[in-house]
A and B are shown apart, each in its own frame.
Chain A
């Protein structure tokens, strides 16, 4: 049941009459928030979902967003599937999160889930039935070492804690994000739009960036967020001039000075901020001075968010972090003082800290995580490969790319060396194409005589 002090998104939105003129714009359709407060996209079946653990697995982003507004405060738990969740992982997500209902906009096959509800835009009118109220857990997915997702438990209070009521709250504010709202970074922007007084333009998977820019321009979007990779791609579009943002936000990857400068030059009227956030640690901070990295005084400062550095990596304690993984009690997520290890290695130079990469060798390709071990396992399936080492390679377009060093079982025969090497390269790439998502496939493959092996017999991984 909902404790007295907790509020749902609906409570925060107020009455339908307070939301007149506010819209969520998808690719084909726009939905008015006041219609949503007086209606449903769930065909009158919301009461069946009361108190349940509901998996939201839609193809359309807008459908997922509308379902979230309806379910918060009604479901016991919402499990938000990102668009690229592999169907192989679906059964384990359902089992680990105790899912007993699915909301989807398509025919989704999942055994042993008793309740299935189809959600559809447009909104149809519905009576405001009084329901039992629940403090809803929000479960977000993020990728894990073996490719299986990690499930993080958040609350609406924690997710909205970074959103300050004094900021970006004008009635003329129109938010947009290149992110999918089913990931932490995009969800932040969705909630900012809902808690503010303006509207929101959703992107859509597979929509060319130029077309999204035109839609943002058509709705006069003022506040736009994306990863540095999203923004580099936007600046390569002739439609980059279609928008005139007042606020440009970057998160999800290291923002380098080049992209910060390019955005300032291209949108001189805009305030530009880069935020540090992750699904596990929540929003850490936002930097608005136009420089890469962050001021050293943030470390050790008292306040809503506390940060420390241990073993070179940034640790964060705040009410914004996830509470726990769905199948444990929080001890695996936080240290005994409540700090979450972000795994991001930082280095201090004078009065600023700069991000160097990930401790575990995790590669961040345009905001998507790649675990080297997963890629190495696929490369090692090639019969001629003895071992491989997958590492990060800097990219001015996506921040990082996947690069592979491969040791062959035996040297190619001298006569046919060149073409044999090219054949191996092609075959390894074919195996990768068949077994890995596009961002995990090595961009470059190098054949090397040997790899460095550390004392414990493991491959030596260096910080990126």
Chain B
């Protein structure tokens, strides 16, 4: 499953638990406009770590806090890419 699909399906699951209707999920949608509080975003990050094995917030050297859904997905895609590069170099 692509990272984008995983992020969106986890997001939908959390919104469903919180009985929240999500607006159309476009790349320029501001994360905080999803109606999810920081607890919900923290849960999203924890579940993504379990499913993708990735936590770019903790792994990256530069502190970065994504503003839009597109930023958020790219943050994960970039982390996945550099992990793949690292594992190839390690071989």
Contact = CB atoms under 8 A, between A and B. Distances in A.
Contact of A397 (B30, B42, B47, B64): B42
Interface string A309-339: 0000000000000000000000000000000
Given A208-B32, A209-B32, A366-B39, A235 B65 contact: yes
Contacts of B15: none
Contacts of B57: 258, 396-397
A233 B63 contact: no
A10 to B, nearest CB: 37
A393 interface: yes
Interface stretch (A126-134, A196-204, A273-281, A438-446): A438-446
A225 B30 CA distance: 23
A438 B46 contact: no
Interface stretch (A62-70, A95-103, A168-176, A259-267): A259-267
10 contacts: A229-B38, A236-B31, A238-B67, A365-B39, A395-B46, A397-B45, A397-B57, A401-B42, A401-B46, A438-B18
A364 interface: no
B81 interface: no
B87 interface: no
Contacts of B65: 232, 235-236, 262
Interface string A426-464: 000100010000110001100000000000000000000
Given A236-B67, A237-B32, A237-B67, A438 B39 contact: yes
Contacts, number: 74
B32 A236 contact: yes
B77 interface: no
A398 interface: yes
Contacts of A217: none
B21 interface: no
A229 B62 CA distance: 17
Contact of A261 (B31, B41, B42, B63): B63
A394 interface: yes
Q: Which of A210, A259, A396, A443 gathers most chain B CB within 10 Å?
A: A396
B38 A262 contact: no
B63 A395 contact: no
